[in-house]
Amino acid sequence: MCTTCGCGSGETRIDGVAHDQAHGYTPARSLAPGLPRARRVSIEQNLLAKNDAYAGENRQRLTAARVFALNLVSSPGSGKTSLLVKTIAQFGHRFPIAVIEGDQQTSQDAERIRATGAAAIQINTGKGCHLDAHMVGHAVAQLELADHSVLMIENVGNLVCPAAFDLGEAHKVVILSVTEGEDKPIKYPDMFRAASLMLLNKCDLLPHLDYDVDAAIAYARQVNPGIEVIRVSAKSGEGMAEWLAWIEAGRAAAT
Amino acid sequence: MHELSLAEGVLQLIEDTARTQGYSRVTAVFLELGEHAAVERESLSFCFDVVTRGSMAEGARLEITDLPGSSEMRVKELEVD
Ligand SMILES: Nc1nc2c(ncn2[C@@H]2O[C@H](COP(=O)(O)OP(=O)(O)OP(=O)(O)O)[C@@H](O)[C@H]2O)c(=O)[nH]1
Ligand SMILES: [Mg+2]
Ligand SMILES: [Zn+2]
């Protein structure tokens, strides 16, 4: 059972198997010593620290296998899965790509990935609004990742909570689609602050919109001056070469 | 931010600890909340009341102390029966 990460673990499923049945995990507790006062129980546990401990384990494991892991975060429907399908179709022959899909319900996204031939594991978070490092650790163990491969973790569509949960990834990549409005980076700054790269998706739609790309990028840099930006379209393939170059540079740094 | 799931985490901790410490009711929970923990105090209290309904901590008092400069949310102590 996971008290960890506040993930609504009672309903969490990894490839359809109930999370708390999938393993015999008992949370580590440190019960402070000292004189037990009458009817008082001392606990001393930082509920937020447990995720970081799991994330550290994941990072160690991924780094040891020289796996370059990315945590893809965005609001629902920005095109995360579409971008992954396109990425695998275009670059899957260059390096192995495995995917962990996070959604509250259904395994539709994992099925979309498996249809490309890539390995995918679906995590269903039930009530949970984000992936946490503990769930991802189990998914990583099931994936049998190849050395020097790329692991894409598609987080639950949510522009708020996933920002606070380290999964052990090398980078968070935030996807913002041009139909969402230019101002999202300043309305949800935590997410854009946590990300190393922003993929501005659905750029094929720009001719039909009043979207101000420069304003969106300026807002993103207002909250995170160092954030890199690539304009892409999962539909037309625009920007995919730049995205590949960014991944290749990251892989090189990881190996 | 995700106060509901954090409240569930507190309850889970209470129930797990009950197994080793042998109590059947919790009447108060003492918690320290860091200023940078990104947790809304009011929302956490509200969620705690909701998730503890029907549990061994139903009706328990949640006492939250602010921790300036910290990003932790630390469960310190329980008052139990
Ligand atoms: N025009 C256009 N549509 C796109 C693009 N990328 C994704 N879409 C469409 O946007 C919708 C959502 O795409 P998904 O790939 O499912 O988005 P997602 O971020 O994975 O969604 P969730 O997993 O539900 O959060 C689908 O109807 C896609 O066809 C794009 O580059 N251009
Ligand atoms: Mg998706
Ligand atoms: Zn959350």
pLDDT band for position A164 (50/70/90)? Answer: confident
Q: Are A133 and A50 in contact (CB under 8 A)?
A: no
Is pLDDT at A2 greater than 90 in this prediction?
no
A29 or A212, greater pLDDT: A212
pLDDT at B45 (0 to 100): 94
Please report which confidence band the pLDDT of residue A34 belongs to, taking 50, 70 and 90 as the band edges: low
Element (H, E) at A169: none
The reported pLDDT for the residue numbered A29 is 41
pLDDT reported for residue A33: 54
Predicted confidence at residue A19, as pLDDT, reads 62
Q: Is pLDDT larger for residue A26 or for residue B2? A: B2
Beta carbons of A43 and B2 less than 8 Å apart = no
Q: Mean pLDDT check: name the lowest of A73-77, A138-142, A212-216, A250-254.
A: A250-254
Whole-number Å distance, alpha carbon A77 to ligand 1 midpoint, is: 5
User: Following CA atoms A92, A93, A95, A98 in sequence, which dihedral angle do they give, to the nearest 10 degrees?
Assistant: 30
Average pLDDT over residues A160-187: 96
Query: How many CB atoms lie under 10 A from the CB of residue A106?
Result: 11
* In the predicted structure, residue A157 carries a pLDDT above the cut 50: yes
A3 Cα to the center of ligand 3, angstroms: 13
**Strand (E) or helix (H) holding A207:** none
Unique residue bearing structure tokens 């797990």: B16
Binned at pLDDT 50, 70 and 90, residue A31 comes out as very low
pLDDT digits (tens, 9 = 90+) for B18-70: 999 999 999 999 999 998 888 889 999 999 999 999 999 999 999 999 999 88
pLDDT of residue A126: 86
pLDDT of A77 strictly over 90: yes
The mean pLDDT of A35-62, rounded to a whole number, is 85
pLDDT-wise least confident of A30-44, A196-210, B7-21: A30-44
CA-CA-CA-CA dihedral for B24, B27, B30, B31, to nearest 10: 80
Residue in A closest to B74 by C-alpha? A46
d(CA A93, CA A7): 35
Residue range A110-147, pLDDT digits in tens: 999 999 999 999 999 887 889 999 999 999 999 989 99
All domains of chain B, ordered by start, with CATH?
2-80 (3.30.2320.50)
Chain A hits for B16, CB-CB cut-off 8 Å, are 1, 3, 26-27, 29
Is pLDDT of A22 > 90?
no
Say yes or no for a CB contact (<8 Å) between A39 and B74. no
* Four-point Cα dihedral A212, A236, A78, A97, nearest 10: -130
What pLDDT shows up at residue B77? 95
Q: Does B1 have pLDDT greater than 90? A: no
List pocket residues of ligand 1, CB cut-off 6 Å: A 74, 76-82, 103, 109, 157, 201-202, 204-205, 233-235
Give the A:B interface size as CB pairs under 8 Å: 87
CB contact residues (below 8 A), chain A span 28-47, against chain B: 29, 31, 39-47
Q: Which residue segments constitute the domains of chain A, with CATH numbers given?
A: 11-254 (3.40.50.300)
CB atoms near residue A95 (< 10 Å) = 14
Band (pLDDT 50/70/90 cuts) for residue A11 is: low
